């Protein structure tokens, strides 16, 4: 009777997906092959380099090396053709490959794992993958920068309102605005390059955490795998995921930059702004409102930022309390990086497409550039330069001029000279040469300013650098 009750209780406790009991749960939580199979090429490359080094050092025979390398290349072909059968019972990509290698070449397969551990093996595979992804990201960012440079060059003279607090501040050019994003994505690309430099050390040979007694040549494997040098501390080597965190940090910052421009695209596409238009390639319609054209690509780029930022926070949280050296918690690193990488790659590609695709409404931009008395600062600067007023007094005089324009519902350049001289008798008709939006933009000739000539200098500098 008690045996029957125990069986019933067990079935209730381990029901559903885990009907087989604790072993099923352990297999489910322990297995990583569902996602780390993505590392197959890096795993096989690392094993080929390791086997080559072992033979060169006399740790395994040349015959075993050749059998191992031949088998690994066959396995890679099977994986890439879709013929390879992955097993969850073998936990991860390393054991899946090793098990298949044993089937193909017999006992020689067991010699491949000499002088290494899954701890340094996974660190190697993951570093190789992240390094390759960073190189792809660098290339993608260069393409995005090029798209912004092309758009900036087309619109170095196109006047638009510059904003602070999303309120009209001062006139700028659209080319100058585009160049602001070139600077942002240029910093992202520089961070990518620094990250590649930081991770360019080979982990293989650190073994479980203490190194190995075998006479291995870690410099040989580092060189074979394209690393600058081997890592210098075996404990740090197997417990380090800074390279993954740095990738996610770069991805999060870059995603924020993408999201900021995506937000501007969404705003600028509204009829109220009408600054730009996206083609149907990057827009969708409404299921019930035939007049709608929604900038969905920009909205989705904006949304990806939350997902990518979440991946960074997740891995930071995983790593925050781990004692040295390796802990199984670190298995949770890859899905976050894989997901962030996939979404960042897509978001950069979408933004590159939108920047190239967008049509600029120059007339709308120019009309908006003069709204809100955006050249008021130019008037204040003129009062300082021409009349010698202290800036604070010039600011006060300009405020009275703006109030007059508001009360008569006209622009600054539409006010009469008599009306201006009633506010300050020193004002002359030369003031009308500085209060137009074109004059305002042209006057901002300081290094890095919005004057078209400065914008073209920025573009030329970046084209040479890109």
How far does Cα 130 stand from its chain's mean position?
13
Strand-pair partners of 360: 276
Q: Name, in order, each residue with C-beta under 8 angstroms of 115's C-beta and a sequence gap of 6 or more.
A: 50, 54, 59, 205, 207, 212, 214, 216
Residue pair 370/437 in contact (Cβ under 8 Å)? The answer is yes
Residue pair 347/304 in contact (Cβ under 8 Å)? The answer is yes
DSSP secondary structure letter of residue 425: T
From residue 429, give the alpha-carbon distance in Å to each of 379, 380, 381, 436, 438. 12, 15, 15, 13, 17
Residue pair 341/134 in contact (Cβ under 8 Å)? The answer is no
Nearest one of 249, 150, 272, 242 to 192, comparing CA atoms: 249
> What's the rounded Cα separation, in Å, for the pair 87 and 90?
6
Q: What is the number of other CB atoms lying within 10 angstroms of the CB of residue 67?
A: 22
Nearest one of 247, 254, 137 to 185, comparing CA atoms: 254
Q: Which residues are catalytic?
A: 165, 286
DSSP secondary structure letter of residue 322: P
Q: Does the bond joining 325 to the residue before it have cis omega, within 30 degrees of 0? A: yes
């Amino acid at each position: 009777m008690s045996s029957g009750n125990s069986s019933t209780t067990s079935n209730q406790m381990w029901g559903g997906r885990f009907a087989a009991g604790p072993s099923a749960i352990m297999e489910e939580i322990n297995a990583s092959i569902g996602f780390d199979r993505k590392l197959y090429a890096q795993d096989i490359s690392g094993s080929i380099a390791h086997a080559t080094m072992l033979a060169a050092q006399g740790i395994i025979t040349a015959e075993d090396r050749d059998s191992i390398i031949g088998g690994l290349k066959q396995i890679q072909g099977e994986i890439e053709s879709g013929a390879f059968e992955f097993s969850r019972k073998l936990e991860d990509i390393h054991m899946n490959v090793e098990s298949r290698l044993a089937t193909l070449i017999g006992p020689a397969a067991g010699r491949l794992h000499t002088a290494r551990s899954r701890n340094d093996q996974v660190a190697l595979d993951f570093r190789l993958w992240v390094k390759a992804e960073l190189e792809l990201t660098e290339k993608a960012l260069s393409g995005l920068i090029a798209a912004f440079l092309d758009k900036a060059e087309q619109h170095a003279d196109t006047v638009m309102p510059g904003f602070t607090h999303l309120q009209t501040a001062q006139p700028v050019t659209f080319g100058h605005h585009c160049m602001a994003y070139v600077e942002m994505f240029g910093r992202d690309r520089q961070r990518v390059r620094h990250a590649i430099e930081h991770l360019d050390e080979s982990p293989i040979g650190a073994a479980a955490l203490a190194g190995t007694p075998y006479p291995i040549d870690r410099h040989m494997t580092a060189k074979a795998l394209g690393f600058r040098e081997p890592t210098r501390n075996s404990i740090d080597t197997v417990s380090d995921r800074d390279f993954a965190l740095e990738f996610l940090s770069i991805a999060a910052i870059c995603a924020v930059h993408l999201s900021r421009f995506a937000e501007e695209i969404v705003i600028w596409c509204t009829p109220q702004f009408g600054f730009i238009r996206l083609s149907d390639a990057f827009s969708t319609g409404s299921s019930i409102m035939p007049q709608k054209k929604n900038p969905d690509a920009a909205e989705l780029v904006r949304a990806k930022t939350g997902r990518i930022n979440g991946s960074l926070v997740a891995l930071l949280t995983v790593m925050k309390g781990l004692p040295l050296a390796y802990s199984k918690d670190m298995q949770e690193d890859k899905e976050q990086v894989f997901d962030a990488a996939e979404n960042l790659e897509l978001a950069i590609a979408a933004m590159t497409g939108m920047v190239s695709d967008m049509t600029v409404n120059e007339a709308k931009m120019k009309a908006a550039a003069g709204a809100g008395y955006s050249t008021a600062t130019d008037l204040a600067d003129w009062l300082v330069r021409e009349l010698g007023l202290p800036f604070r007094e010039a600011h006060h005089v300009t405020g009275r001029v703006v109030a007059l324009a508001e009360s008569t519902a006209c622009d600054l350049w539409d006010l009469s000279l008599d009306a201006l001289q009633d506010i300050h008798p020193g004002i002359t008709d030369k003031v009308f040469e500085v209060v137009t939006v074109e004059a305002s933009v042209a006057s901002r000739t300081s290094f890095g300013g919005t004057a078209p000539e400065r914008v073209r200098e920025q573009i030329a500098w970046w084209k040479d650098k890109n």
